[in-house]
Amino acid sequence: MKPLILVVDDDASLRRVLEYNLLEEGYQVVPASSGEEGLRLFDEISPDLVITDMKMPGISGMQLLSAIRERSLDAMVIIITAFGTIDLAVKAIKSGAYDYITKPYSRDALRITVANALRFKGLATENRRLKSELSDRADFRTIIGASSAMEKVFGIVDRVADTEASVLITGESGTGKELVARSIHLRSSRQNKPFVAINCAAIPYDLLESELFGHVKGAFTGAVRDREGKFQLADGGTIFLDEIGELPVGLQPKLLRVLQEKAVEPVGGTKPSKLDLRILAATNLDIEKAVSEGKFREDLYYRLSVIPIHLPPLRERREDIQLLIKYFCGKHGERKVSFDRECMELMVSYRWPGNVRELENSIERILIMRNGDTIKADDLPEKIRSGASNSLSGINGNEEVIVRFPDDGYSLERLEREAVVHALERNRWNQAAAARFLRIPRHTLIYRMEKYGISMPGKSG
Ligand SMILES: Nc1ncnc2c1ncn2[C@@H]1O[C@H](COP(=O)(O)OP(=O)(O)OP(=O)(O)O)[C@@H](O)[C@H]1O
Ligand SMILES: [Mg+2]
């Protein structure tokens, strides 16, 4: 893509010459006739480089330079100074300009200075990307778990990592879906290429298509230049479509086409370009249900979920809790800290609705608030301390039963009704299965359904 240069000069003829010279070199150019206009355009188009004259009425080149540096430390600015004002040029460089050109300038001087500035900017960006990837790597290498459920996950990750298969990772919030996605990327031969994550739920609908696939200049108001989407940025690497269940129905056919044809067409563009991408996706929604309700296209679902990986909630793999606690203490530099028995039992029996993320946050807090190297029940947050005392938790067959009793009492009838509804719902209103689930004969279930007036939603009677 062509670098975009903002040219600021109050002298119309000089501005036009500069613009013409830069266009000849193959750059995109946006002109501004004052410092004020330059600053406004800078915010609007975020150019790769700014070339500004020094002496202008209103906001001067020097003031423009400092306003731009305030907004972005990596903004590249070249200033143009009149012959004989070298001290001004020196001052500008001290304030963060990349270089200067003296008027009258030769085309060669312009060409070389601009090319150097852009090359430098490219290196700086690349450097920053590599650094952030390195720190990501340290964090994202380790997935802790010894439960059979996690062993199963590790087995799948090992087998699929270095393939091209699409993987759909499901699980409640905080169960480690993104961690698994990054770990797949880092174990694949694409590990040195970009890993680009995009949260489909966080971007407004109007912007999502262009955010994913890019747009061409003029595709819509505000599209003042060509812009690459996340797909183009991920070329050669892995793209991670987070919260895929929230992808608007309107965009689903387009994504499907991209996956089938391995080519992307930017918004307003005419020809798709080929991309080499590995696709990973994640969701905490029940996506099969979304498919059956027509909210998610079945064909797209099958494309994405060639390999499904499910991460069970932490409360269904409590064996991992103790290990995770040790790991997070170490991660926060507190290897010598231990939990006494009562305290560990509370931690293990707490329900962890926010899963591993909640566990990590709690450990962080406990480490800050603790009164010594041995953590006792008193050091735990209230929700964990009281969790066990007003709930009944036990193993019933393979099914874990957790009932929370409100402090002001409860109605046994209501509890029974809720159990019946729960059993029916999770067995898709299959009465025989629900009766087995509740370990009662089927006629007892039917009797209770009638007693409480429970019927399948959408069906009467
Ligand atoms: N098994 C694990 N071992 C070590 N750290 C973990 C594990 N699972 C999750 N974490 C950590 O817990 C936090 C949450 O994990 P992650 O962001 O991958 O969850 P998620 O499933 O993507 O959640 P959400 O659906 O809310 O986006 C991260 O800091 C992650 O590193
Ligand atoms: Mg996530």
Cis peptide before 312 (omega within 30 of 0): no
Amino acid 92 reads A
Residue 349 backbone phi and psi in degrees, to 5: -90, -10
pTM confidence score: 0.61
Helix (H) or strand (E) holding 28: strand 28-32
Residue 328 is encoded by which pair of tokens? 């997070």
Ligand 1 binding site (Cβ under 6 Å of any ligand atom): 142-145, 171, 173-179, 284, 356-357, 360
Q: Encode the chain (461 residues) as per-residue pLDDT tens digits.
A: 789 999 999 999 999 999 999 999 999 999 999 999 999 999 888 899 999 999 999 999 999 999 998 888 778 999 998 877 788 888 888 888 989 998 888 888 899 999 989 988 887 777 666 665 654 444 556 899 989 999 999 999 999 999 999 999 999 999 999 999 999 999 999 999 999 999 998 888 888 899 999 999 888 887 888 888 999 999 999 999 999 999 999 999 999 999 999 999 999 988 888 999 999 999 999 999 999 999 999 999 999 999 999 999 999 999 999 999 999 998 888 888 999 999 998 999 888 989 999 999 999 889 888 888 999 998 998 889 876 444 444 444 444 555 666 666 777 887 888 889 888 888 888 999 999 989 899 999 999 999 888 888 766 54
- Domains of the chain are 4-124 (3.40.50.2300), 157-311 (3.40.50.300), 314-391 (1.10.8.60), 411-452 (1.10.10)
Strand 374-375 and strand 338-339: pairing? parallel
| Residue-wise pLDDT tens digits, 117-167 | 998 888 777 766 666 565 444 455 689 998 999 999 999 999 999 999 999
- Give strand ranges (E) for 33-104: 49-53, 77-82, 99-103
Other CB atoms within 10 Å distance of the CB of residue 404: 11
Residue 250 is given by DSSP the state G
* Closest ligand 1 atom number to CA of residue 177: 21
| Range 184-197 burial, b when 16+ CB lie within 10 A, else e | bbbebebeebbbbb
Residues lying with their CB under 5 A of ligand 2, a single-atom ion: 178
Nearest CA to ligand 1 atom 26: 173
Q: List all residues 6 or more positions away from 118 whose beta carbon is below 8 Å from its beta carbon.
A: 3, 48, 49, 76
For the chain, report the end-to-end CA distance as a whole number of angstroms. Answer: 64
Which of 175, 310, 320, 332 for a ligand 1 pocket mutation test, highest count of atoms within 8 Å of Cβ?
Answer: 175
* Closest ligand 1 atom number to CA of residue 320: 1
* Cα of 311 from ligand 1 centre, angstroms: 10
Residue 267 is given by DSSP the state B
Helix (H) or strand (E) holding 304: helix 298-304
Q: Is residue 116 helix, strand or coil?
A: helix
* Cα of 280 from ligand 2 centre, angstroms: 12
* Closest ligand 1 atom number to CA of residue 178: 18
The answer to whether 65 and 97 are in contact (CB under 8 A) is yes
Which DSSP string do the residues of 173-225 spell out, in sequence order?
TTSSHHHHHHHHHHTSTTTTS-EEEEETTTS-HHHHHHHHH-B-TTSSTT--S
How far lies 125's CA from each of 64, 71, 75, 358, 444, in Å? 23, 16, 11, 34, 68
